[in-house]
Structure 1
Amino acid sequence: MVTDFHSNDDILSTSFGSFAKKFNVFSILAKCGAKKLRGVSVSVVFAYLFSIAFKHTTVNRDQKGRKNPQAVGKDCVHRFLQSPKIDWNRFTALLAAAVIRLEFEPLYGKSSEKVADRRCLVIDDSSFKRSRSKKVELLATCFDHAHHVFYRGFRMLTLGYTDGQSFLPVAQCAMSTENEKMRINDASEVEQGTPGHTRRQMAQKKATESMLDLIDCAKDAGLEASYVLFDSWFSAPAQVTAILEKGYDVVCMVKKGNTKYACADGLKRDVSQIFRSSKKRRGLSKYLLSQVVSIMDGQGREREVKLVFVRSRSNRKDFLVLLSTDIALDEQEIVALYGNRWSIEVFFKNCKSQLRLEKGNQSLNYDEISAHIALVFTQYMMLSYLRRLNTDERSIGELFLAMVEEMKDTAFDNAMELILYLFIDKVAQAEPQLQQRLYELADLFISTLPDLMRDQLRRAS
């Protein structure tokens, strides 16, 4: 399934063609500042860049092997990616909101209210390594908490959306650091008030502050959710109350630190003290203990939260603590909601291993790095949409490989169309009275096929 996109070389899957048309991808791009006065249009440049990941190559390698000198050129590509006037976070947030509104929400209407209430925003960060780089803008020395080592690059702070079935990336920030001693290179001078200037400012904030900016971005795009999920790195009471003030409830994991919670008896205890002083549930219960406590917001007001203690899978003598600001939720629902946070870990894995998140672009320019990440987000959105559309049990990785095969077989559509027309012509010449019956039988056969195959054959016929 392939569509010729203005050039025989710049071929894009028909899956992206239908995706772009249904969700007005190019109109959203224009709203976010992606405009050109002359030369190759924005839609052609974006479609070309979108197809690169499915060709197992990079822009530079593809440019060197181009047979058509009139195709999208290298300078055109880099000018587009390095534009400080394109708001990539707004683009991905608006696109995610469109996918949710047009594709996911109609499904919620057919489901129970409980399914609709599981709409969540998920926040997490992952390493974005540029280990061999020296001159990348805003390059920093970061610490990998998973492997306990330092590396050169960025922390890719990401906000996503999940309903328990699908995951969509919404916004991101390639975090440098506010610590000048750990920042290897400073930011380039960019016109104030442009999205490029805003990106650079956000990258030099604390992650806890940038996290709130990403939530604002999702809210401005009209993306509706009931909960925000994150792990223990962002679970300080100040962060929890800041998100509450934005209109979202929080479900997160809590550190076993010195943070004190006001208990029902008036005493303040940390989670370890609460666990030791409370009676635990016996047997094979999914949780050990549940208790409603209070935290203080920035104005000194108390907010009730529910702490749920669950047994650690890796060490049955240890425990983990989940926090929910919605105390009406039962304990099992809190555990199930927090389990949806794992979808962002799967997203990071697929983007790095399949969509070449880290290795697909080696630019020194911060705007181009942000644009590359936004392109990868768009590619993942399309794969997630296709999986949801066809209720496909395959993984995102398998869908990616299917798209790669689709890009390889660029002549399949033309061959299918030619065979079908030749067959109908030959039958019509020999038996003219059978022509109408043949079309009826073909339509009956095609209607029983899966959606993608059915649309493909109907397009060819």
Structure 2
Amino acid sequence: MINLLNALYYSGDTSIPVAFELVKKPIQYSNIKTKKRRRKSEITKNEMLREMITTCVRNDLKFHFVLFDSWFSSKENFNFIRHKGKHFISALKNNRLVATSNEDRKNKCFTQINDIDLPENTLIQGWLKGYDEPLLFLRQVFKNKDGSTGILHLVCSDLTCDHNAITTIYKKRWKVEVFHKSLKSNANLAKSPTRTLRTQSNHIFMSIFAAFRLECLSIKNNLNPFALCRKLLINASRSAYEELRRFQVVA
């Protein structure tokens, strides 16, 4: 199992990897209850996220929003992103506490966002517990493939955004999932025979670089990476078949 954290830059219809971190767990410990041996990382994933954002800012990468799921929606990350002069749009867990007025915030009257009367397609301004700046909140209701109903709560730090802007921008986060699929299907991320930390790290880096190069070729040839790979495979198979026929004629 590869535990990989990466940052994907999206602009227009182009998405490219700009930073990544391998989650290494060199520290061994024993779980007190189960007595089983466990491993943990020297730094948390949230700290890795902040380091990657720092790298992007230091490299003068031009971006306005940082998008992430509820796993990274901590007040430390929110404060860090705003301190860097950027905005964020994030998913929230249903139990996050929100005050819908400044008076409620001052009186410490917070309510779980899932219990707030927040109709779909409605945008409200409020305060998240532990975070001092006002934020925008909205609720999305959607149908899953199995017919069940799903609910997604989003929070945005840019108070100039409307509902359509927030939902449209956050949809771009799905490009991360497409990139991961391309890493596995087109760059063979999970098919490395390596065993040591260094060789595995090298393989992962080269897989990410291959996915990046494939994205560049896709832009140049106006084909998505998966269609481009299929075309390369067909041409390679055709060339191999022609070579086989020549061998048969010689024999």
TM-score between the two structures when normalised by the length of structure 2? 0.80
Query: How far apart are the structure 2 equivalents of 1:402 and 1:204?
Result: 43
Equivalent position of 2:92 in the other structure: 254
Is 1:242 the counterpart of 2:80? The answer is yes
| CA 255–178 in structure 1, closer or farther in 2 if over 3 Å, else same | farther
**1:85-106: CA deviations, max 9, x gaps?**
xxxxxxxxxxxxxxxxxxxxxx
1:3-42 equivalence runs, <5 A? none
Offset, 1:400: 2.1
Match of 2:142 among 290, 306, 312: 312
8 A Cα contact 1:227 1:250, kept in partner: yes
Match of 2:115 among 254, 258, 273: 273
Offset, 1:406: 5.8
Query: How far apart are the structure 1 equivalents of 2:59 and 2:28?
Result: 33
Is 1:335 the counterpart of 2:193? The answer is no
8 A Cα contact 1:176 1:183, kept in partner: no
1:149-160 equivalence runs, <5 A? 154-160=2-8
Is 1:347 the counterpart of 2:195? The answer is no
Is 1:396 the counterpart of 2:218? The answer is no
Query: How far apart are the structure 2 equivalents of 1:361 and 1:328?
Result: 50
**1:349-384: CA deviations, max 9, x gaps?**
1111221101134231x2322222221122111211
% same residue: 21
Query: How far apart are the structure 1 equivalents of 2:172 and 2:186?
Result: 22
Offset, 1:296: 5.8
Offset, 1:167: 1.2
| Unaligned residue ranges in structure 2 (runs of 5+) | 30-37, 243-251
| CA 379–256 in structure 1, closer or farther in 2 if over 3 Å, else same | same
Equivalent position of 2:53 in the other structure: 215
1:370-389 equivalence runs, <5 A? 370-389=201-220
Equivalent position of 1:303 in the other structure: 133
8 A Cα contact 1:308 1:322, kept in partner: yes
Equivalent position of 1:35 in the other structure: none
Q: Give the residue type in structure 2 aligned to 1:158.
A: N
Larger Rg: 1
Offset, 1:164: 4.5
**1:155-179: CA deviations, max 9, x gaps?**
1011111125121011111213476
Offset, 1:256: 0.7
| Unaligned residue ranges in structure 1 (runs of 5+) | 1-128, 130-153, 185-202, 281-286, 413-461
| CA 170–407 in structure 1, closer or farther in 2 if over 3 Å, else same | farther
Equivalent position of 1:204 in the other structure: 42
Query: How far apart are the structure 2 equivalents of 1:312 and 1:346?
Result: 20
Query: How far apart are the structure 2 equivalents of 1:316 and 1:402?
Result: 38
Q: Give the residue type in structure 1 aligned to 2:228.
A: L
Offset, 1:328: 0.8
Q: Find the residue that maps to 2:140 and give its secondary structure.
A: strand
8 A Cα contact 1:159 1:172, kept in partner: yes
Q: Give the residue type in structure 1 aligned to 2:210.
A: Q
8 A Cα contact 2:143 2:149, kept in partner: no
Which structure carries more strand by proportion? 2
**1:186-215: CA deviations, max 9, x gaps?**
xxxxxxxxxxxxxxxxx5311111111111
8 A Cα contact 1:175 1:204, kept in partner: no
8 A Cα contact 2:137 2:153, kept in partner: yes
**1:237-282: CA deviations, max 9, x gaps?**
222222221222101111112x32232152322202223xx5x3xx
How many residue pairs are counted as aligned between the two chains?
225
Query: How far apart are the structure 1 equivalents of 2:48 and 2:110?
Result: 30
Equivalent position of 2:19 in the other structure: 171
TM-score between the two structures when normalised by the length of structure 1? 0.45
Query: How far apart are the structure 2 equivalents of 1:338 and 1:354?
Result: 25
Q: Which structure carries more relative contact order (alpha carbon 8 Å, separation 6+)?
A: 1
Query: How far apart are the structure 2 equivalents of 1:174 and 1:328?
Result: 36
Match of 2:124 among 291, 297, 318: 291
| CA 359–204 in structure 1, closer or farther in 2 if over 3 Å, else same | farther
8 A Cα contact 1:178 1:205, kept in partner: no
| 4+ runs deviating over 6 angstroms | none
Q: Give the residue type in structure 2 aligned to 1:360.
A: S
Q: Find the residue that maps to 1:204 and give its secondary structure.
A: coil
